[in-house]
A and B are shown apart, each in its own frame.
Chain A
Amino acid sequence: MTFLGALLLASASVVSADEKTPCHSLSLGAMYKGAQVHVGLGARWAAEARAQAGNSGSDVGQIDASAYGMRLYRYFHAPTRLRLLMGVEGAATRSSASEVSYKTTGTALGAFLGAEVYATRRLSFNLDVGPYFLSTSVKDSGISQSGMEIVINSSINLYLL
């Protein structure tokens, strides 16, 4: 939380720099254990396809999970070096246990607030946070789990256009 606040405040100091308009139409991005393709839909809207992996310990060994989703972004203003943003995400999820045969499928729905900071015209960093509703079912068991989680996302983006 402290890190998030410090980054945003530091970023705010560069927003007034008078720079050439950053690229914002098409980017490829990398995030923690994942990748994304980001498409600008005009100056203040964007869509993004993304895939991300993750893992966690359990009583039956490591659980490997993946999420494949779409994001819709709404920027608070036209492209500048710092863009505050909000958006929603929907994703299909699945996971499997590494040592036994359990598998899960599920969905994730979330909303987020964040910021995108351009280091150059084509290179930017994105950080956002928000509540996600996750629902997971274990195949062939009748067991399901759902609940709210807070998810922090960050990514580095290379704009091609």
Chain B
Amino acid sequence: MKKKLSLFLAFGFLSLHGAWAGVHYGLGTAVAHQSAVAIDAANDAAIASQRPVCTDAPYTVSPLDLTNGFNLEPLGHLAPYSHTLPTEHIYFLIVKSSADTTSYDVRAPADILITRVSSSELLFSTPTYKDYSIYYDACRGVNGYFHHVLHLSADLEAKLGNVDRNCSVYSDGSARVCNTDTAILVNAGDVIGNTVGRVGSNLVGVDFGTHDYRKAPLAFADPSRKGADQLHTVCPVDYFPESLRVQMEARLGTYDGSVHRTAAPVCGEYNQDIAGSAQGNWYVNGTPPGPVQQENATLALVHDNVDPTRGVLSVGQSVTASGLSSGPYYFTPSSMGLVNRDFGGVRDTDTYCYESPGLISAVILIQMPNSTTLKIERQGLASCGAGPWSLTSNATTFVR
């Protein structure tokens, strides 16, 4: 009897263990739960199928009024450690005086279906700072988003209701993020929100990203590190009619408009990976499998998004053993040799040395033991000299 009871309790414990999808009281409840998931998926698919077929230029209205003097920063912006890897969006930016609090409307670039609105509140700011991300479907297969919309339009806010739903706080307590799924149709040119200059800040603007599922996924060296949308990143500027596209392309460059990008592609590059070489995105050894959201433990060996003739070591917060601080380290690439070698040419197991004005009495060494592993180390040398150099146990290992 005791044996049977033990068997029964063991079965119950194993059955309720976390490997299962869920625990339900009654088969009817379990069926209802699964049916709800299936019906939600069917409803999402039905909404998506009702979106219009995309044209070559689905966007018809600039989301921010270009006559206000906005500059556009291309894809691939670097700002480690939050953006250690090249960004998947462009920026609409205006330089302003720190006291300027002018508001700029953000408009729907097409007849869009808003599918999600997220709020992000920075809890360490005093007072706390909150802004919104708006995600939308533009047409069948093309979606996009805006980040850093400071206020939602009154109309959108009324349709959304309470947006402080499905909230979570970052593990370090730095931010509170809430997500509201929705399905709100908005006409091209309608105001969906605004961005406002903050006192003390010299910039105002929004992030603008677009994904096109009609196109083949980007060929990252390790695609598993990117989400489905990210793999279909495109330049939003390319989705406007020619008259607008020409105006926007003329504004692609630095945040202040002082330097314009002229090298093709003028909208920059999100994916700069070259498999088998050092160029591209790297993830610190031990990074859990799957898409990487937080970029503090990553490394990008890429080119500048405005002047791609400049090389950049974009370093997150994980090269600590050798004391290399997070930051972008720029240099002028060389097409040969072991010093400041362009990353695309680093394809063997030699140790390469990099000098950058951002380094004070130090150099950066990299070495690839194999095609998917890269070691990096800061060493306290005044310059690279002629080499050879050897990495020590202080080197940090990245993989992809």
A binds B: yes
B15-A65 in contact (CB<8A) = no
Task: Enumerate A105-158 residues with CB–CB distance to B below 8 Å.
Answer: 106, 108, 110, 113-115, 129-132, 134, 136-138, 141, 143-145, 147-154
The answer to whether A138 touches B12 (Cβ under 8 A) is no
List A contacts of B23 (CB < 8 A). Answer: 149-152
Considering only residues 43-66 of chain B, those with a C-beta below 8 Å from chain A are 43-46
What is the bound-complex CA distance between A102 and B45, given in angstroms? 13
Q: Which of A9, A113, A154 has the most CB of B within 10 A?
A: A113
Interface size class of B (residues with CB under 8 A): 35 or more
> Which of B12, B32, B45 has a CB less than 8 Å from the CB of A63?
B32
Produce 1/0 per residue, B85-114, CB < 8 A to A. 000000000000000000000000000000
| Chain A residue nearest to B14 in the complex (CB) | A131
Q: Is the CB of B8 within 8 A of A153?
A: no
A66 contacts chain B at the CB level, 8 A cutoff:
yes
Stretch binding the partner chain, chosen from B34-42, B209-217, B278-286, B305-313:
B34-42
**Do B30 and A134 touch (CB < 8 A)?**
yes
Give the Cβ gap from B338 to chain A, nearest Cβ, in Å: 54
Q: Does A17 contact B (CB under 8 A)?
A: no
Interface of B is mostly: helix
A26 to chain B, nearest CB (A): 22
Does A15 reach chain B (CB closer than 8 Å)? Answer: yes
Q: A54-B30, A153-B27 are in contact. Are A143 and B42 (CB under 8 A)?
A: yes
| B residues less than 8 Å from A52 (CB atoms) | 26-28
Residues of A within 8 A of B7 (CB): 113
Q: Which residues of A contact B41 (CB under 8 A)?
A: 138, 143, 145
Chain B residue at minimum C-beta to C-beta distance from A130: B15
On whether the beta carbons of B34 and A129 are closer than 8 Å, the reply is no
Tell me the bound Cα distance from A8 to B8 in angstroms. Answer: 9
Q: Which of B12, B16, B35 contacts A65 (CB 8 A)?
A: B35
Interface string of B11-34 (1 = CB under 8 A from A): 111011000111111111111111
Contacts of A33 in B (CB 8 A): 26, 28-29
Q: Report the minimum CB–CB distance from A156 to chain B (whole Å).
A: 14
**Interface contact B5-A136, CB-CB below 8 Å:** no
A58 to chain B, nearest CB (A): 4
B181 touches A149 (CB 8 A): no
Decide: A97 and B20 in contact? CB cutoff 8 A: no
Cβ contact of B38, chosen from A145, A151, A153, cutoff 8 A: A145
Q: Which residues of A contact B29 (CB under 8 A)?
A: 32-33, 54-56, 65
> Knowing A104-B39, A149-B24 touch, does A8 contact B9 (C-beta < 8 A)?
yes
Please, how many angstroms separate the alpha-carbon atoms of A100 and B46 in the complex? 12
Which chain A residues lie closer than 8 Å to B15 at the CB level?
A: 129-131, 150
Whether, in the assembled complex, A79 has its beta carbon less than 8 Å from a beta carbon of chain B, the answer is no
Residue of A nearest to B39 (CB): A102
Cβ B8 vs Cβ A84 within 8 A = yes
Complex-state Cα separation, A79 to B159, whole angstroms? 61
B14 CB, nearest partner CB in chain A, Å: 9
Count of interface residues, chain A, beta-carbon cutoff 8 Å: 62
Nearest CB of chain A from residue B30's CB, rounded to whole Å:
5
Tell me if A1 and B32 are in contact (CB < 8 A).
no
Contacts of A108 in B (CB 8 A): 27, 30-31
Measured between alpha carbons, how far is A71 from B15 in the docked complex, in Å?
19
Answer whether residue A42 sits at the interface, using C-beta atoms and an 8 A cutoff: no
Inter-chain contacts of B39 with A (CB < 8 A): 58, 60, 63, 95, 97, 102, 104, 138
Taking a contact as CB atoms under 8 Å apart, the answer to whether A148 and B12 are in contact is no
Candidates B13, B35, B181; contact of A136 at CB < 8 Å: B35
Query: Roughly how many angstroms separate A156 CA and B5 CA in the complex, as a whole number?
Result: 21
The residue of chain A having its C-beta at the shortest distance from the C-beta of B41 within the complex is A143
* A4 CB to nearest B CB, Å: 6
| A113 touching B32 in the complex, CB below 8 Å, given contacts A59-B40, A150-B20 | no
From known contacts A136-B38, A149-B24, infer whether A113 and B12 are also in contact, taking CB-CB under 8 Å.
Answer: yes
Asked if B16 and A144 sit within 8 Å, CB to CB, the answer is no
Enumerate A41-81 residues with CB–CB distance to B below 8 Å.
Answer: 52-60, 63-67, 69, 76
A63 contacts B26, CB within 8 Å? no
Closest 7 CB pairs of A and B: A54-B28, A65-B32, A54-B29, A95-B35, A58-B36, A56-B32, A145-B38
Supply 12 further A-B pairs (C-beta < 8 A) apart from A33-B28, A115-B8: A8-B9, A32-B25, A52-B27, A54-B29, A54-B32, A63-B35, A65-B32, A93-B35, A102-B43, A106-B35, A147-B34, A149-B30
A-B contacts, 25 of them at CB < 8 A, read A1-B12, A1-B13, A4-B12, A8-B9, A9-B5, A31-B26, A34-B28, A52-B28, A60-B43, A65-B31, A76-B4, A93-B27, A95-B32, A100-B43, A104-B39, A106-B31, A106-B34, A132-B27, A134-B34, A145-B37, A145-B41, A148-B20, A149-B30, A150-B23, A151-B23
Contact surface of A with B, Cβ cutoff 8 Å: 1, 4-5, 8-9, 12, 15, 31-34, 52-60, 63-67, 69, 76, 84, 89, 91, 93, 95, 97, 100, 102, 104, 106, 108, 110, 113-115, 129-132, 134, 136-138, 141, 143-145, 147-154
Binding site for A on B (CB under 8 A): 1, 4-5, 7-9, 11-13, 15-16, 20-46, 181
